[in-house]
Each structure stands twice: as C-alpha cells, then as structure tokens.
A and B are shown apart, each in its own frame.
Chain A
C-alpha cells in the first residue's frame, strides 16, 4: 500500500479501501479457511519461536528474557556453528543448482516419452523420494570394510590398497553427503516440473518451428522454459528449503555429531540443541538465522530466474 502524504487524499482513500474489501468479499471468503488455519498452525508457532529465541527456555523452567545473548553467542563464540554454517553453504551452493538442473533435465527428457513409459520412468527417478528412508541403501554401499560395495569395486580395480572408512574419514564425509543428496534430489521440484510440462500448449511448439526454432535446445530455452516460469519459481523455493535444511542424511550416514563435525549442518546443530540439550532458546535462534539465510538466497534466485528465456 502506498503511503499518503496528503491528508485530504488519505481521507478520500479510507472509505475506498473499505469498499474495495467489500467488493472482494468472495475472494476473502475463499481464502478464509486456509488462512485461519494457517494463522494458528504456522504463523503463531513461528512468531512464538522467534520470541523464544530471545529467552533461555529449556522446556522445564520458566524462561527468562535474555535479549540478544543467544545470537551473540551463536555468531561469536560457537565454533561448531561456524563449521556447520560453512558446511551448509558449501552444501547448498553445490547441491542447490545441480539438483535443480537435474530435476529440470530429467523431467524434460521423460516428457519425450508416451504416457505409459513416462509414468514408469517418473516412478524410477522419484523412487528415492517415495521409499521412506531410502538413503539407508548407501550404508550398504559405503560400509567401511572390504565388503562395502564401493570399497569392493575400488579394491578389485586396484585403485586403492586397503578399504576406506568413508563415513569416518573427515575429508570424505561432505563430498559423500553431497553425492547422496544429489541422488535424493529428484523430489518435489521434479514432480512439479513434470506436471508443468503437461500444461505447455502444444500449438506453441508448432508455431515456434514455423518461426525458425531449429533444435530442441532452442525450443527448451525460448518456448518451454518461459511457458513454465511459475513452476520454475516454485521449484527454486523448494530447492532452497531442501538444500539449506539438510540434516537427515547427515545424521543417518555420518552420525550426529559426525567425526570432527565434518558432516555438521545448521539443522544438525539445531537438532543437537533442540532435541538433545533442550536449549530451546538457542535452537530457536539458530532457526531464525537459517530463516534469514534462506530468505536472502530466495531473493537472489528469484532475480536470476526472472531472466529465463530472454
């Protein structure tokens, strides 16, 4: 809403705003069920968490207001947080864009097939996301003795002389987690791209061919991607929330805490304080910092995606 400096204009504006709201009664009625629930189950809890981040609440005693203490401690004194922040950023910078491209690439290729084959292929690529904790398969592959599949293959090929303890060696933890995360990445964004490709008007391709589009790559850039911009934006937000919030696979494969915190991420750090030490004030402060990080990244990514097809 624009700020009115002219008091006379403001007087004129006020009844018209009310009229405007009355005029859109139907719209408000339609959004009401969702937003009433959303207020109670999402907005209120988030606001309460932000308030908690300024206290020393441990879920047992009455919380005391401590001002910025949690934030100062987090950013100045907590070396592990700095490590986990660094890991999370590396993680997000690598897996975020790569996952996003993979989702788009595979959705696009799969779209070439007829309906039956498309359904089966979609299932195959979505399988890691639908099979619950499918990443446990990787425990088998990454077992640290000679019987782990990866060690077995590398030993047979004489690339290594003795088995490697993949998830206990500091230098391997983060790269391996990145590979597993990429493997898991064909999830929400992927399916929404599949659906988005179905809504692209077929006659646009015919028109483009007449207009001189020569190959599939040009078709992708000039026709398909601009036509599914809303899905691209949606996929980007989902990608950000996933890349920054990674924790489950780190805990399942590397443990929490991992060796010398090599697999620590912001959310594993948060879980450490929230679920293990019950320091809810501190955990909430971590969540708030993470939130700000994601919001900033989102702003940047939306700007980049605005250029698609230009």
Chain B
C-alpha cells in the first residue's frame, strides 16, 4: 500500500489503538472474510478433510487409549481401540520402575534435555546462519556449495553411517554428547528449508538496513530471522523430533550419558508383565514432541504482512 503524506497507515499505530479502531469497525477487522470463497467449495473441501481426519487421528487415539487400559484390556483378543475401564495404573507402575533404575532417572532426563535442546537450537542457528548468505549474497562457489547440500540428502543414510562412525571415533568424540550433537548441526534439510524461505524476502529490506549502517550479522538477527519465523519454528519441530527420538545407542556407552529414550526402552523390554508400563512409555514419548509441536505451530503467524516488506 502506498503511503500518502499526512495519512497514517493503520499498521504504524500502537497496538491498543489498532484494536480499538478495529473493534469499532472503523477499520476492517483482521479476521475479515476471505475473498473468493463459495459455499459449495467450502462444503466439498471440508467434507474431504473431515473423512481423512478420522483416519489420520487413529494413532493418537490408540496411544491415549492404550495408556489408560488395564492389563487385561491390553491383552484382550480381538483387540479393541477404545478403553472400557480407564485407569492410571500404567503410569504409577512406570514411576515405580523408573525409581528402580540403575542411574537416577533424573540423570536420563537431564541428558535428553541437553542433547535435544542443544541439537535443536544449535542446528537452527548454524543452518540459518549458513542459509542467509546462500539465499541473499552472491559469492564465488555458492551454487556448488548449495547443490552439494541438496544432493547429500539423496544419499542413503544407511551406508554413510559406518564411515561417519569411523570419523567420530577418529575425532575422539565417541562416547560424548558431541557424537550425537555435532552431526545434528549440519543436517542438510534445515539449511535447505531456511534458504528457501529467506529467498522470498525482498532485497530492498536488507538494502535499507545496509544503508542505515547495519552489518551482515545485525541484518541476520534483526531483520532476516524475525521475518522467517514460520520457517525456523517449523525447523525446530523437525529437529526436536529427530533429536528426541535418538537413543544414542550407537555412540554412547556410559550409562550416565544415555538419554531418556534409551532408559524407557529398557523398561519396556521386560516382556508381558511390562506391557502396561510400555503403553505409558509410548504415551510419554509421543506427548512431549506433540506439546512442543503445538507450541510452535500456534506461534506460526503471518509475518510478511508487516510494514515495509514490499519491493
């Protein structure tokens, strides 16, 4: 929108004033109706989605129900999806088992927080930092470096695992947190994702900051990153899931270093009598990334509608 002299754009007003004007319908509400929508189209699309949603939500429903089932219902044949006599026994069983663990259970939790937290934050920062020049600068070697990252995602991880193990041993970081965290910093997908989103930012945005004397580092933190918030929140979800699911059994030998996933799997490996605790474990293992997912997803808001973004 072009700004006419003497007239103030709504988005430049302080938020409380904006709200007031919108409430009094002087200015159209932010939740204004979308353009070009027909009732028939809405009905068709939402029906398709409703039917599919029933199938997609199935694993969630099963995990919750299984966690609440008493042992006899878990072993019922033929199996039923829904629980009839819900109980929290499985969770109390699990807590008893956790207290019996060889290393205090809090230690496993600390390890997980460290590995997941560092692996996620580090990856988002390092990958974004590299993505910015690849998207917006023009330097010798750039196309080569970028296509190397994209191509690397197409090489089967199964066969590179062994050379990677050799390299990690050679670096002397085997049996430390770094063996899990450092390779996670340079996953190809994160860089590619961030680069694609940064490419959409108009060059004028960075140019005006440069004219005002900002250096590249400041531009990256103050302008680029806030404007690609949906991208790094999405990347955080992927990386959280990736790190959270890592049992570290390939690299970590010391019991004190192992993450919670490993300890929980040990508990569930106890056979028939542990089936209840195992269902509770499955629930917890799914619940944490889901909570993280919900927090990130709900903060993914329209970011490009802020002022001064157009070419």
Contacts and interface: CB of A to CB of B under 8 A. Distances in A.
Interface of A: 1, 17, 20-21, 24, 26-28, 30-31, 33-35, 37-38, 40-46, 48-49, 52, 59, 106, 109-110, 112, 114-116, 118-119, 121-128, 130-132, 134, 137, 140, 147, 183, 186, 188, 191-192, 194-196, 198-203, 205-206, 209, 213-216, 218-219, 227, 230-231, 233-234, 237-238, 240-241, 244-245, 267, 270-271, 274-275, 280, 283-284, 286-287, 290-291, 294-295, 298
Contacts of A110: 49
Given A27-B137, A140-B79, 11 more contacts: A30-B132, A30-B216, A33-B185, A43-B148, A116-B298, A123-B290, A128-B59, A196-B197, A200-B304, A234-B196, A295-B151
A172 B34 CA distance: 44
Given A116-B298, A195-B300, A127 B57 contact: yes
A28 B193 contact: no
B190 to A, nearest CB: 9
B74 interface: no
A115 B140 contact: no
Interface of B: 1, 31, 34-38, 41-42, 45-46, 48-49, 52-53, 55-60, 62-63, 77-79, 126-127, 129-130, 132-134, 137-140, 145, 148-156, 158-164, 166-167, 171, 182-183, 185-186, 188-189, 191-193, 196-197, 199-200, 215-217, 220, 228, 230-231, 233-234, 237-238, 241, 245, 282, 285-286, 289-290, 293-294, 297-298, 300-305, 309-310
B59 A137 contact: yes
Contact of B59 (A17, A127, A231, A290): A127
A contact patch SS: helix
A21 B294 contact: no
B contact patch SS: helix
B230 A198 contact: yes
A270 B162 contact: no
A42 B130 CA distance: 16
Contacts of B164: 41, 45
A115 B301 contact: yes
Given A134-B59, A290-B156, A30 B130 contact: yes
Interface centre among B38, B163, B182 (most CB of A within 10 A): B163
B183 A41 contact: yes
Contacts of A128: 56, 59
A64 B31 CA distance: 68
B245 A132 contact: yes
Contacts of B300: 194-195, 198
B28 to A, nearest CB: 10
Interface centre among A110, A191, A194, A298 (most CB of B within 10 A): A191
A132 B242 CA distance: 10
A35 B183 contact: no
Contact of A41 (B137, B162, B167, B303): B167
Contact of A216 (B41, B137, B290, B309): B41
